[in-house]
Structure 1
Amino acid sequence: MKLLVTGASGFVGKNFVVHLSEMPDIEVVTFTRDNHVSELPELVSNVDGIIHLAGINRPQHNDEFIQGNTDLTQALANAVFNVVQSQQRFIPIVYSSSIQAERDNPYGQSKKAAEDILLKLSDTTENPVYIYRLANVFGKWCKPNYNSMVATFCHNIIRDIPIDIHNEGAEVQLVYVDDVVSMMFARLNEVLIALQANEMTPTSGFALAGPVYTKTVGQIAKQLNYFKESRQTLISERVGTGFIRKLYSTYVSYLPIDKFTYTVPKYGDERGVFVEMLKTPDAGQFSYFTAHPGITRGGHYHHTKTEKFLVIKGKACFKFKHMVTGEFYELFTDGETPEIVETVPGWSHDITNVGSDEMVVMLWANEIFDRENPDTFACPVVKPE
């Protein structure tokens, strides 16, 4: 399958081309600002489908809206029309329009005119056309200080550059670039497969790319600042799902290479070191510690707190004692065996390095350590005679 991507060097285009390059059965043909509109007929005549992303949204003069959005789309439509007539085959098109097409401004008018051109092409030839009126797209590789508030905020906040907010309560609609790519390609691929199998009557119209997130400018700025502060607090936001996951991924993508790393506090004494790596609002914290040969750590119990230990280097002996019955238990593990040892509320526990080398242990606790309420009570574990 050969696909033409117009606007391939733009924000969405770069993401689209990379995604397509991961698919072994797809050959990508690109059209960028380095190409001339006169090249479109030949390019179009040799492809199976078109992802039309090219456009102008920040020109120096308003007439560039017409040239970059309307006229270019007309040239593309003419090329497709000729192929449908001469080769008797369809070339499905997915087009990235804008929610601005519903508004009376030069950019919106040019995008609406481009939509009308493609819909007319479909009416005339039945060539499938799917139009996506995209909200504000955010994600990696978007140019800051251009047309994306999220890109500008990420770039500036990371670099300690002030951000300019005129109205914190202003709402914006956002859609994530990977969602856009996924949904537009899925539609195009579905149509191409159906056409090749003669299993569909060509259809056209408007399609939705989402999910669309409605947020205020102030909410976005606040969340991005939380991301920045997490390197000091070590408390990570809930970055595993939904909008926060996508915004965090976007934020991190703007890190300059000299900020790919950051240091965390290290606490050391005669026993070894203890380092906290990551804390979460509701899923505990992660850390690691070391212990020199013969050193014992722990010797306490918890009422509610639980922990998971993983020895990744060295040899360890864990000892446990029930705080009511006095029942004793011990076990041995080492860095060669990926074995999790879990502490149980109501049992005092400790860990001893029984090897000849330094021991390194990863540790997860189900809550962030609270010095005011540590739920940690000293009680050395003594093996019964």
Structure 2
Amino acid sequence: MNFGSYPWGLGRGTGVFIKVRAIWAEEGENREWNGMNVLVTGAGGFIARNLIAGLQAYDGIRIFECGRTTGQSLLEEFCREADMVYHLAGSNRPKEITDYELTNVGFTRRLLELLKKHGNSCPVMFSSSIQALLDNPYGRSKKAAEELLLEYAEETGAKVFLYRLPNVFGKWCRPNYNSVIATLCHNTVGGLPTRINDAGHMMQLVYIEDLVRELTGLIGGGDRVSGFYEVPCTYRISLGRIVELVQAFQEGQEAGMMPELSDEFTRKLYDTYLSYMQPSGHMPDGAGIINGERNRA
């Protein structure tokens, strides 16, 4: 039985040229991306950490990690040299409502201006949210960022790939923040209570490894055109059912018994639960790394 399919040693990006064969590639896939520069914004975040680990599994990619402490001069260098941009930076629980505009819209505008400044029309992937369809501060800021990217694509001819992501779950997601699954797994493993207000609430979910597989497939752009895309594999399940499953996992652990893993979602949720039993179950934010050195600018 698979007790966890994660390459635990690939936790933190180093920004160096990686010379290992892809352990995440499936069905004999063998990609050679030697010399490609890939810029990842929001490098300290949950999705970015997993994406960086996935990218490191392929030959010859140089990863530019842009985090909270990355300075203007280094960001300019990244934008000048990038062959692909994964724009994952964003704010969804700021202290001030105005930070939605500052981060989600303002930084997107700054990023696109720097790409234009250096005449770099490489593809750009943007992690938006299903809340872009809602009339709330977060949703409006994501919608505004989408519009900036579509205008940029029309103006420059660059390809932009927009993903309105649902709730994403998996290893390294920060508990007690904005993921009920992360909080539930963290608390259950730690013997802490979790209060559920609406067990019947239906959740739309995507698993982090499915998302990473989709995003790494964007390298080079292929035949894709600018526009909105979805992760092919998503799940719709009630919050109450998720609680039941995680509680069953914990009871099985305590009894020394394997749970029933009869379907794909349950197996992925179980892998997620197991990750919170590891010291690296939640990976803290980083400063961003390139060529093995943390950004100081």
TM range (shorter): 0.7 to 0.9
- Give 1:15's match in structure 2, choosing from 44, 47, 50: 50
Cα root mean square deviation, aligned: 1.6
Aligned residues of 1:144 and 1:151 also touching (Cα < 8 A): yes
Structure 2 unaligned regions, length at least 5:
1-35, 280-297
- The letter for the 2-side match of 1:3 is V
| Separation of aligned partners in 1, 2:84 and 2:262 | 34
Count matched residues.
244
Q: Deviations over 1:128-162 (max 9, x none)?
A: 00000100011101100000000000011111111
Report percent identity of matched pairs.
39
Structure 1 residues 368-383: aligned runs within 5 Å:
none
Indicate the residue corresponding to 1:338 in structure 2: none
Matched, 1:138 2:173: no
| Separation of aligned partners in 2, 1:3 and 1:178 | 19
| Separation of aligned partners in 2, 1:138 and 1:213 | 11
Structure 1 unaligned regions, length at least 5:
195-199, 258-385
Aligned residues of 2:123 and 2:220 also touching (Cα < 8 A): no
- The letter for the 2-side match of 1:203 is V
Matched, 1:225 2:255: no
- The letter for the 2-side match of 1:189 is I
CA 38–110 in structure 1, closer or farther in 2 if over 3 Å, else same = farther
Aligned residues of 1:175 and 1:210 also touching (Cα < 8 A): no
Indicate the residue corresponding to 2:198 in structure 1: 167
Matched, 1:128 2:150: no
| Separation of aligned partners in 1, 2:278 and 2:150 | 43
Aligned residues of 2:201 and 2:239 also touching (Cα < 8 A): yes
Higher helix share: 2
Indicate the residue corresponding to 2:110 in structure 1: 75
Structure 1 residues 1-385: aligned runs within 5 Å:
1-37=36-72, 39-84=74-119, 90-186=121-217, 188-191=218-221, 194=222, 203-239=225-261, 242-255=264-277
Aligned residues of 1:37 and 1:72 also touching (Cα < 8 A): no
**Secondary structure at the counterpart of residue 242 of structure 2:** helix
CA 12–19 in structure 1, closer or farther in 2 if over 3 Å, else same = same
| Separation of aligned partners in 2, 1:113 and 1:227 | 41
| Separation of aligned partners in 2, 1:185 and 1:83 | 24
**Secondary structure at the counterpart of residue 160 of structure 1:** coil
Highest relative contact order (Cα 8 Å, sep 6+), 1 or 2? 2
Aligned residues of 1:37 and 1:75 also touching (Cα < 8 A): no
| Separation of aligned partners in 2, 1:212 and 1:120 | 29
Higher strand share: 1
TM-score (norm: length of structure 1): 0.61
Aligned residues of 2:54 and 2:216 also touching (Cα < 8 A): no
TM-score (norm: length of structure 2): 0.78
Aligned residues of 2:164 and 2:230 also touching (Cα < 8 A): yes
| Separation of aligned partners in 1, 2:159 and 2:278 | 42
Runs of 4+ in 1 over 3 A off after TM superposition: 36-39, 232-235, 238-241
More off after superposition, 134-143 vs 38-47: 38-47
Q: Which has the larger radius of gyration?
A: 1
| Separation of aligned partners in 1, 2:276 and 2:165 | 22
CA 83–240 in structure 1, closer or farther in 2 if over 3 Å, else same = farther
